[in-house]
Structure 1
Amino acid sequence: MSADLLAALLAFAAAVLILPPRGRGLHRLTASAPTRPVALNRRWLLAPLAVTVACVGGAQIVVSALALAVVASLVIIQRSQHRRRSAAAARRTQVIEALDVLAADLSAGRPPIDALEGAASICPDFQIAHAAAKLGGDVPRALEAAADSPGADGLRALAAAWQVAEESGAAFASLTERLAISLRADEAIHRQTEASLSGARSTARILAALPVFGIALGYSLGAKPLNFLTATPVGWLCLASGLGLTALGLHWTARMAEVQA
C-alpha cells in the first residue's frame, strides 16, 4: 500500500468519525419532512475503507486487524468488569451508611420522610423512595425498583422491613438498625471473599499476557512469530486457537469468581 493511498484512507476515516452527529433540535425540525430518505449511520461509511484496506493490504492486514480487535475487546471487557465490581462495592457501602443515618434519624424521633431525606443525601438510590414518600406513593415498591441496581440488594430487605412496619406497627427504627448490622456483616464476608479471589484473577490476567512475552522472546531469538501467525494458514489456526483459549480462560475465571462471590 502506497503512502499517499494510506494517508487518503486515514483522512477519510478521521473525517467520518470526527464529524459531529446531527443535533436533536435539527432532528426535530427535519423529522416532519414528508419524504426524506432514511439516514444511514455514518459508521457504515467505514465499510468501503475496510474493504479497500483488505484488498490492498492482503490477508495479513485482515488477520492482524482481527487479532488486535479481539485483544482490545478482551482488555475492554476486563476493565469493564473491574469497574462494575468497584461500582457495586461502592454502592453497597453507600447503602449501609445511608441505613445507619436512617436508623439514627428514626431513633431520634424524626418522621420517616425526613429520615429518608437524610439517607438520600448519603446514597442516591434513596431519592426515589424519598420522592415516593413525599407524594404519598408506594415506598416499598420504590425501594424494590432501586434495588435492581448492582450493589443495592439491601434496599429490597429495607422495602420488606418498611412494609412489615406499616402493616404490623413494628418499630421501624430497630428493624433498620438490625438490617444495617446484618448488611455490614455480609459486606465483611464479601470483602474477604473478594480478597481471596483477587489472586485467581491476577493469575488469569498474567497467563493471558504470557503470549506477549513469548512473542517478544521469539523476536529476541531472531525469529518472526508475528509474520508466522498472520501470514500463514498454520499460523492463523494457532492464532485463532490461542485467542479463543485465552478468552475462554478469562471468561471461565470470571464466572467462577462470580459463583464464589
Structure 2
Amino acid sequence: MSSAFLAGLMAFLACALILPKPGRGLHRLTAPIPRRDKPDGRSLPRLPSLARLSLVVSAAATVLLLLGVQVLVSAAAIGVVLALAAVQRAQQQRRTAAAARRAQIIEALDVLAADLTAGRPPIAALEGAASISPDFQVAHAAAKLGGDVAGALELAAESPGGAGLRALAAAWRVTEESGAAFAALTERLSSSLRADETIHRQTEASLAGARSTARILAALPIFGIALGYSLGADPLTFLTATPTGWLCLTAGLSLTTLGLHWTARLSEVAR
C-alpha cells in the first residue's frame, strides 16, 4: 500500500464527507436488492450480527498485523474518516426523514380538520387522515375497536418529527372529557404546527451554512496532505510510520471528531 494510494483514498473520503446526499429522484431509479432465498422459498440462514462482526474484525486484525504497524495505523485513520462520514450522512438522513414526517402530519391534520368541519364522524375523519400519513393508521384502528386513540397517538409521537401527534392526543382527550368541538381544536392545531414548521425551516436554512463550513474545515487537513505531496514532502509516511506522526494524527482526528460533534450539538440546541 503506497503513500500515494493512501493520499488518493483519503481525498476521496473527504469528497464523500462534503458532497450532499443524492436527491430523491435518484433513489427512485434504484431497484431494491432482492432477497436470496432457497428454492423451496425459505430464507437462507444468516450468522448473528455479533458473530459476523467478530469474524470480520478478527480477520482484519490478523491481516493488518501481518502487514505491519504502518498499515494498521493507516487503516485505523481511514476507519475514523469513514465513521465520521457515516455519522454525518446518518444525521442528514434523520433530519430529512423528520422534516418529511412533520409535513405529512400537517397535511393529514388539514384533511382531518376539513372532514370534521364537513360533519364526518371522528372515526371516518381519522380514516381520511390515515390515507395521508401512516402515523394515523394505528389511531384509526384503535378508534374502530373502541381503544385508546390518544394513547396510540402518543405512542406514534415518540419517533422524531411526531411532536404534533402528542398535541393531537391532548386535543382528543380534551374533547372526550369536556365535549369541546374537536374540529375547531384540530383546525387550530394544524395552523399552529404549520407556523412552527415555517420557523423550523427558516432555522434549518440558517444552520445549513454552519454545517457546511464545519464539514469543509474537517476535510481541509486531507487536502493539506495532498498539498504536501505536491510540494515534494511525504506527510503520510510521517503520520503513519513515526511515533510523533502517530501523536499528530491522533490529535488531529480527535479534534476533528470533537469539532463535528460540537457543531451538531450547537445546531440541535439552536433548534
TM-score range normalised by the length of the shorter chain: 0.7 to 0.9
Q: Give the residue type in structure 1 aligned to 2:111.
A: V
- 1:196 to 1:48, Cα distance in 2 relative to 1, 3 A: closer
Residue identity in the other structure for 1:120: A
In the superposition, relative to structure 1, how do residues 144 and 51 fare at CA in structure 2: closer, same or farther (>3 Å)?
closer
1:149 CA drift (Å) = 1.1
In our comparison, the structure showing a higher alpha carbon Rg is 1
Structure 1 counterpart of 2:130, one-letter code: A
The within-5 A match list for 1:205-224 is 205-224=215-234
Code of the residue aligned with 1:187 in structure 2: it is E
Give 1:247's aligned residue. 257
Shift in Å, 1:212 = 1.3
TM (norm. structure 2) is 0.81
Q: Residue 41 of structure 1 aligns to a residue in which SS?
A: helix
Are 2:151 and 1:141 aligned?
A: yes
1:48 deviates by 4.4
Shift, 1:52, TM fit: 2.9
Equivalent residue letter for 2:146: G
Q: 2:257, 2:269 → 1: CA distance?
A: 18
Greater relative contact order: 1 or 2 (C-alpha under 8 angstroms, separation 6 or more)? 2
Structure 1 residues 88 and 26, CA gap change in structure 2 (3 angstroms) = closer
Alignment partner for residue 231 of structure 1, among 241, 254, 259? 241
The answer on 1:44 being equivalent to 2:54 is yes
Retained in 1: the 8 A contact 2:37–2:43?
no
Instruction: Provide the secondary structure at the position in 1 that maps to 2:131.
Output: helix
CA RMSD, Structure 1 to Structure 2 (Å): 2.2
Q: Match of 2:139?
A: 129
Unaligned stretches of 5+ in structure 1?
A: 2-19, 28-37
1 CA distance for matches of 2:67 and 2:100?
A: 47
Q: CA contact under 8 A between 2:174 and 2:180: conserved in structure 1?
A: yes
Q: What does the per-residue CA deviation read over 1:161-213, in whole Å, with 9 as the maximum and x for residues that have no partner? A: 01101111111000000000000010111111111111111110010010111
Q: Is 1:170 paired with 2:214? A: no
Residue 55 (structure 1) aligned to one of 46, 65, 72: 65
Alignment deviations for residues 221-246 of structure 1 (CA, whole Å, 9 cap, x no partner) = 01111111111110000000000000
Paired residue for 2:88, among 58, 78, 86? 78
Alpha-carbon shift at residue 24 of structure 1 (Å): 7.5
TM-score, reference length from structure 1 = 0.84
**1:45 Cα deviation after fit:** 2.8
**Alignment-mate amino acid for residue 90 of structure 1:** A
